[in-house]
Amino acid sequence: MLLHHYALSPFSEKIRLMLGYQQQSWSSFVVAPLPPRPVTDALTGGYRRIPILQQGADVLCDSKLIAHDLSRRLQAPELDYWQLNQEQQQLADYLDSEFLFVALNSCPPLKLLGLLKQSLSVWGLARFMWDRLGIAKEAKEGGSKGGYRRYRQQLQSLEQQLQQPFLYGDSPNYVDFCLYPSLWFVMAKAEQPLPESLPKLTAWFKRMQAFGHGNIQELSRGEVARLAQEHTPKTLVQTDNHPMLDKPVSVGPLDYARDQTQGTLVAVTAHRWVIKQKTERFGDVHIHFPNTGYALRDADGQVIPDTDALEVSQ
């Protein structure tokens, strides 16, 4: 289990905390806060967001899909978005999008600069600002008055919901791990405590934080590249009869950082598309995307509507 991530990345923190919650030992590859990321970029072939999970020559994109695979591998269904009810899924989606953007926007700009300066040069900082300005324009989230009002109301309603240690009972589920990264950034990174009117949420945060990150083994760029070179992608047990199977396609996010990954569609299951890319450096690589929040396109760039695929064991 090898996670490509960086310290300040909230979606990486979601996965790091899940690994800590499950007391896992895992391999870590720390990447730059913005491209170029030579090994990671070569593996994802277009997709630029972080984190990704690498398993040899298989690459999983998006924290939702990474959590889905972890939940299966660790027999922890509570970590799976697709095991939630509809209301919980909606809350998870909101926490992963507008709520997070508002939380990040609420941090004092000088604090953010100070944090970024720890890992970027002055030139890197300028590139980072420019890069994120582009992403923020695409995301169109987080700046509006309505967004701030919803954020504050959500904090109040979460405070009321917390009549037990975690949002839905005595142990956390996927939604807790979606809420955590925003509050982690605000409280632990930007050092802004929550208002005193939110004591339950503050106590919840400390309980979550105590899970830690598990046992981490750092890998070098060379080791990560070798892992991809020395493995062939996993054999997929069965694929659904999707009309685009074995055809050239592209997949990309619908919300922001919409860079496309091109390749051949080699598998479709209830929740994922798998694309094969032939790379010079690593040979064949399989890149896995969730089919929620992403679009599958044919060679002409036309979006392919979702089909009723069946989840298969992988």
Ligand X SMILES: N[C@@H](CCC(=O)N[C@@H](CS)C(=O)NCC(=O)O)C(=O)O
Binding site for ligand X (CB under 6 A): 9-11, 33-34, 48-50, 62-64, 257
Burial 188-197 (b: 16+ CB within 10 A, else e): ebbebeeeee
- Residue recorded with tokens 């020395």: 230
**Between 139 and 216, whose beta carbon lies closer to ligand X?**
139
Nearest Cα to 262, choosing from 47, 4, 36, 41? Answer: 47
- Per DSSP, the three-state class of 263 is strand
Which is nearer to ligand X, 11 or 151 (by Cβ)?
A: 11
Which ranges of 162-288 does DSSP label H, i.e. alpha helix?
174-183, 199-209, 221-230
Nearer Cβ to ligand X (34/224): 34
Burial of 8 (0-12, 13-18, 19+ CB in 10 A): middle
Nearest to ligand X of 10, 263 (CB atom): 10
In the complex, minimum distance from the CB of residue 34 to ligand X, in angstroms, rounded to a whole number: 5
Q: Find the shortest distance in angstroms from Cβ 216 to ligand X.
A: 18
What's the token pair of residue 129? Answer: 């600002």
Which two tokens mark 117?
């300066």
In the bound state with ligand X, the residue whose beta carbon lies nearer, of 257 and 312, is 257
**Environment class of 119 (CB within 10 Å of its CB; exposed 0-12, middle 13-18, buried 19+):** middle
Number of helical H runs and strand E runs in the chain: 11, 10
End-to-end CA distance of the chain: 15
Contact 244, 304 (CB under 8 A): yes
Crossing angle of helices 174-183 and 10-21, in 10° steps, is: 130
User: How do beta strands 248-253 and 294-298 pair?
Assistant: antiparallel
Nearer to ligand X, 48 or 272 (CB): 48
Q: Which amino acid is at 235?
A: T
Name residue 283's beta-bridge partners: 279
Quick count: other Cβ atoms within 10 Å of Cβ 104? 19
